Chains A and B, each alone.
Chain A
């Protein structure tokens, strides 16, 4: 059974600092890994999707890396802004179903 862990559960940083969010998974037989953002009272927004054959994906200030062999992914957010405050979830897809981590709640202080 796939287990996805995100550490830390919460993170508070001053504006401008780079963010590093970690995700680990137990079964390396995955098709892809996705990073989502969840705002309070709202749904999830897909940020980045990394195929199992890829090592990283970039979108603007966001960069996500994937190391299947070690079962790890890292989401980097450069030059954080207060608007980046949200919960970030990673999810891996071993088949049709996504297995989610519990998320890291990020607060960026102005």
Chain B
């Protein structure tokens, strides 16, 4: 069973569209994250939720809106997509968000904005 699963794996869309990426974890973790991997392969955190509450918001444009209906799900909605949003987006989770915990990552969603 996949521990952290995200859908879709690939997303190709036009500028200006609105799209969502879904993430689910079956590890029983309290904390979930969204990371963005840019073309230079650097991973940067975007958001973190602990038990459905936002705890990290890393200066991400407000076109990006995370939503956590329960602690096992953290979805990412993006409005008015721009060319610069093209990247690979990774969902991750950890047990409680403590700094000594391993992170478990999903397989990524490659977003291409045309």
Q: Are A and B associated in one complex? A: yes
- Whether A98 is near chain B, meaning CB under 8 Å from some CB there, is yes
Interface residues of B in 83-114 (CB under 8 A from A): 90, 92, 97, 99-108
Known: A32-B100, A87-B41. A97 touches B90 (CB 8 A): no
Query: Which residues of A (77-106) have their CB < 8 Å from a CB of B?
Result: 87, 89, 91, 93, 95-98, 100-103
Interfacial chain A residues near B56, Cβ < 8 Å: 96-97
- Whether B105 pairs with A31 at a CB distance below 8 angstroms is no
Given known contacts A32-B99, A49-B100, A98-B45, A43 and B55 CB-to-CB distance under 8 angstroms? no
Residues of chain B with a CB closer than 8 A to A98's CB: 43, 45, 103
Distance between Cα atoms of A3 and B90 in the complex (Å): 20
Residue ID in chain A nearest B50 by CB atoms: A96
A-B contact count (CB 8 A): 56
Q: How far is the CB of A59 from chain B (nearest CB, A)?
A: 12
Interface residues on B, range: 20 to 34
Determine the distance from Cα of A38 to Cα of B90 in the docked complex, in whole angstroms.
12
Interface of A is mostly: strand
Chain A residues within 8 Å of B, Cβ to Cβ:
31-32, 34, 36, 41-46, 49, 51, 87, 89, 91, 93, 95-98, 100-103
Sample of 8 more A-B contacts, CB < 8 Å, known A51-B100, A96-B48, A100-B43 = A34-B102, A42-B108, A44-B43, A44-B103, A93-B99, A95-B99, A97-B58, A100-B42
A-B contact pairs, 22 of them (CB 8 A): A31-B99, A32-B100, A34-B102, A42-B107, A43-B105, A43-B107, A44-B90, A44-B105, A46-B102, A46-B104, A49-B100, A49-B101, A49-B102, A89-B43, A96-B56, A97-B45, A97-B48, A98-B45, A98-B103, A100-B42, A100-B44, A101-B42
